[in-house]
Amino acid sequence: MKHVTEIIQSSKESHLKLFDNINPQLGKVLSTIGFDKNFVRAQGASLFDDKGNEYYDFLAGYGVFAAGRNHPKIKAALKEAIDLDLSSLVQMDAPLLAGILAERLINMFGHGVRDTVFFTNSGTEANEGALKFAKAATRRDRFLCLEHAFHGLTLGSLSVNGNAEFRNGFGELLPSETVPLNDLSTLEEKLATRQFAAFIFEPVQGKGVYIPEKSYLREAVKLCHQCGTLVIADEVQTGLGRTGRWLACEHFDVEPDIITISKALSGGFVPVGAILYKRDIYHQVFSRMDRCVVHSNTFGKNALAMVCALTTLDVIEEEGLLQNAREMGDLLYEKLVLLKNKHDWIKDIRHVGLMFGIEFGRPDSLKKKLTWDTVHKLDKSLFAELIVMPLMSRHRILTQVSGHHQDIVKLLPPLMINETHVTHFVEALDDVLNDCDSITGPVFRMAANLAKHALT
């Protein structure tokens, strides 16, 4: 038997029992909401459990699988790279593959502004580096971020997190302030103090899928530059075609000083991230030969990550995934608007390309209002969960609740989905919303059940 197969088959315990070694609280949540499947295989936009059931993946590993899971071209490139016995991680060297990828990223995403790259192992590490570089370049300590912002969960990135739920319990973080999205006067007021090293934002916010007004980001960048504050665009989730463009910043005509990318760049195989930034910032950080590794990491430029990234960029280009994201995004939006006309549970549908937030709200009819109010009395985040759960249990579609205390379901499917996936999703959501209409229906029973679980 092959080695990996043997490891998998030799396990005496269930996947859930073994997960107790990692995060038993998350294990309990998975069981409660019916996400405790044992997935054994994946292909494209599909996952398969140990009973052979197929699931449509509208989560894409939080945006990692732009090209779909286990893409044959990325797999082949990885196998080839392994067979070449490459001299990865020499450390005291200038690895060719990293140089090739850096050049490609600068050509694609530098736009003549950002001409230097630092490679990381994750999205949060890219943002950590960006914040650190901004401190060095401006000699300022404070940061500005947006309400609902999410930039990762290590201490630096957590300091610019716009959600109290994530920050609470971790004591004092880096000095930062939060400003509301689309509010230029508050931003201007803060910037005028000239204390802020950087303003960091997601061009489309992951938590809630909030989309800035067209002129907001442009004006914000202008104000930052007038006040000596650097601009960091976190494109960890939005980058690489998710919004139908290579970068979401392109929708808003802004050129930040620093851009961070990660997630999809990995092809879903080897973690990788990158900071693209201006050469003058580089010179402030790596200011002398004895400071040449003042910011560095062990695995950042590893050959397999570079190969995954280079091949993923090829696949996204060759398969026209940006155009597909735009077309499928528009199709899904059109179909969801029809559903919104039918179900007054849906209050708003926000999307750019294939990044979707479906927001629910208190319906008009008296009977449905009662359901809405009861569910919200039980828990503020419960309603969206009551949509996500039957989508999974009855229709085998993975989606997610967008954030704490939000009535928003988020969709982040692979960029290679087709009309069949779109239609299946819309029909499934229609069915789930039909069930919400009945106060004695399955959705309501599920709410009661969940509340019981929460109490125990």
Closest residue by beta carbon to ligand PMP: 123
**Exposure letters 295-309 (e unless 16+ CB within 10 A, then b):** eeeebbbbbbbbbbb
Rounded alpha-carbon distances, angstroms, from residue 126 to 120, 192, 233, 255: 6, 27, 11, 18
267 binds ligand PMP (CB under 6 A): no
**Exposure letters 331-364 (e unless 16+ CB within 10 A, then b):** bbbebbeebbeebbbbeebbbbbbbbbbbbeebe
User: Which is nearer to ligand PMP, 124 or 311 (by Cβ)?
Assistant: 124
C-alpha 114/C-alpha 125 separation (Å) is 19
Beta bridge partners of 258: 232, 277
Q: Count residues binding ligand PMP (CB under 6 A).
A: 14
Q: Which stretch binds ligand PMP (CB under 6 A): 72-80, 129-137, 150-158, 186-194?
A: 150-158
Measured in whole angstroms, how far is the alpha carbon of residue 50 from the centre of its chain? 27
Write the DSSP assignment of 380-395 as a string of letters: TTHHHHHHHHHHHHTT
In angstroms, give the least distance from the CB of 122 to ligand PMP.
4
Residues 355-384 that bind ligand PMP (CB under 6 A): none
Residues 189-218 that bind ligand PMP (CB under 6 A): 202, 206
Inter-residue contact 7 to 14 (CB < 8 Å): no
Residues 110-149 that bind ligand PMP (CB under 6 A): 122-124, 127
User: Which is nearer to ligand PMP, 164 or 448 (by Cβ)?
Assistant: 164
299 binds ligand PMP (CB under 6 A): no
Measured in whole angstroms, how far is the alpha carbon of residue 432 from the centre of its chain? 25
In angstroms, give the least distance from the CB of 269 to ligand PMP.
14
112: Cβ contacts below 8 Å, ≥ 6 apart: none
237 binds ligand PMP (CB under 6 A): yes
In angstroms, give the least distance from the CB of 246 to ligand PMP.
16
Q: Using only the alpha carbons of the chain, give its radius of gyration.
A: 23
- What track of x and - describes contact with ligand PMP for positions 67 through 106 (by CB under 6 A)? ----------------------------------------
162 binds ligand PMP (CB under 6 A): no
Show the tokens assigned to 259. 């851009």
In angstroms, give the least distance from the CB of 396 to ligand PMP.
24
Among 69, 142, 151, 396, binds ligand PMP (CB under 6 A): 151
User: Which is nearer to ligand PMP, 126 or 179 (by Cβ)?
Assistant: 126
Among 19, 39, 48, 62, binds ligand PMP (CB under 6 A): 62
User: Which is nearer to ligand PMP, 116 or 238 (by Cβ)?
Assistant: 238
262 binds ligand PMP (CB under 6 A): yes
User: Which is nearer to ligand PMP, 411 or 450 (by Cβ)?
Assistant: 411
256 binds ligand PMP (CB under 6 A): no
> What percent of the residues of the chain are helix, what percent strand, and what percent coil, each to the nearest 5?
45, 15, 40
234 binds ligand PMP (CB under 6 A): yes
Inter-residue contact 208 to 349 (CB < 8 Å): no
C-alpha 266/C-alpha 272 separation (Å) is 6
159 binds ligand PMP (CB under 6 A): no
Among 66, 200, 232, 236, binds ligand PMP (CB under 6 A): 236
Show the tokens assigned to 56. 């449509």
Identity of the amino acid at 349: I
Residues found near ligand PMP in the complex (CB under 6 A): 62, 122-124, 127, 150-152, 202, 206, 234, 236-237, 262
